[in-house]
Structure 1
């Protein structure tokens, strides 16, 4: 599929935010040690989810929201629980690490990344619906970022 200016815009903003995340322009805030370590656990979990998802995506991987011409729809592994598990991992990592470091700046960047990922996935899913006839059914079964919680009484 052909990339548009939106592909380059989303990726540019994403990498700009990743670059900014490396810095801390605001003072840290106070958090109990337990909260910091819970944040660390979430950041490690997010990192592992992102890495595993990248490995599962394999030859389909691209930084752009427009899928590759020869790509296949992934519905197994991490993609069985989330339509965008790489973003899920990045969200968990950025928020978790921000709380571990007690960094207001990193929390703000993580919020902007979450918002960016929401809009980027909206655009990406338009492209996936065009490319894959079964994407609509997959979208009904699997949530965007986090797994569906099933009602035990249902």
Structure 2
């Protein structure tokens, strides 16, 4: 194996399992969509998660000299920082998801009686679930270090940027000036920066 099953690796796996359990538990606790997601959209979303998580942990199953090789040195300081990012990211995503509650949607769609949530991490960033998810992905990449995971994470972040822009437009259409004011006092994704 290229990457050992260290306590740091186990910690990231536990974080992602907790994330998955919460998401599965909450999946049907939402308001009715104004427009429904198609089966192909749901399959694409699920497939995306499978690809991401497979890519992140490839270095556990392949030896050096393969495309799955770990390229980040396995120094404790790097791994511990990765674990910190992963834990904080998962915590932020779960907290944000629970605050969003019945207004959450896997796709970019309005809910009936949609509410704008501006408490908790939503006071600082408009998309804290994504902020946390990205932090957890980067943290896991630091722990496992695989080039495939790093590339997939980069592609995911790029794709997420397009999704965020669609969500911003939807929320601006739904909430008008209220959302415009909210945009002025918060960052899009990274607290205090962007």
**TM-score class, shorter:** 0.7 to 0.9
Matched ranges for 1:4-153 at <5 A = 13-23=44-54, 24=58, 26-31=68-73, 32-133=75-176, 134-148=178-192
> How far apart in 2 are the matches of 1:13 and 1:136?
31
Gap runs ≥5 in structure 2: 1-33, 59-66
Gap runs ≥5 in structure 1: 150-154
Q: Deviations over 1:28-75 (max 9, x none)?
A: 124122112101110111000000001101111111112212110011
CA separation of 1:116/1:12 partners in 2, compared to 1, >3 Å: closer, same or farther? Answer: farther
SS across alignment from 2:167: helix
Larger Rg: 2
Structure 1 moving runs of 4+ over 6 Å: none
Q: Deviations over 1:100-137 (max 9, x none)?
A: 11121111111111111110010111111110021111
Does the aligned pair in 2 maintain the 1:30–1:102 contact within 8 Å? yes
Does the aligned pair in 1 maintain the 2:87–2:136 contact within 8 Å? yes
> How far apart in 1 are the matches of 2:164 and 2:139?
21
SS across alignment from 1:99: helix
The two structures, once aligned, show a CA RMSD in angstroms of 1.9
| TM-score (norm: length of structure 1) | 0.85
| TM-score (norm: length of structure 2) | 0.69
